[in-house]
Amino acid sequence: MPAIRQHLLIEGRVQGVGFRYAAFQRATALGLSGWVRNLPGGRVEALIEGEEASVNAMIAWCQKGPAFAQVRLVRVNPAPDSPPSEGFSIR
Catalytic: 20? Answer: yes
Residue 89 lies in a domain: no
- 17: CB partners within 8 A, 6+ apart: 68, 69
Q: What is the CATH number of the domain that holds 12?
A: 3.30.70.100
Catalytic annotation, pick one of 20, 37, 75, 77: 20
CB 46 within 8 A of CB 23: yes
Catalytic option among 26, 38, 43, 56: 38
Q: Domain range spanning residue 73?
A: 3-80
Give the count of domains, the chain.
Answer: 1
Q: What is the pLDDT of residue 78?
A: 84
Report yes or no on 24 lying in a domain.
yes
Side chain identity, residue 74:
V
Evaluate whether residue 86 is within a structural domain.
Answer: no
In a domain, 56, yes or no: yes
Q: Which of 28-32, 39-43, 49-53, 81-85 has the lowest mean pLDDT?
A: 81-85
Whole-structure pTM value: 0.89
Q: Encode pLDDT of 51-78 as tens digits.
A: 999 999 999 999 998 888 888 899 998 8
pLDDT in tens, 5-30: 999 999 988 876 689 889 999 999 99
Q: Is residue 90 part of a domain?
A: no
Maximum CA pair distance of the chain?
37
Domain presence at residue 18: yes
Catalytic residue status for 37: no
On the question of pLDDT at 1 being above 70, the answer is no
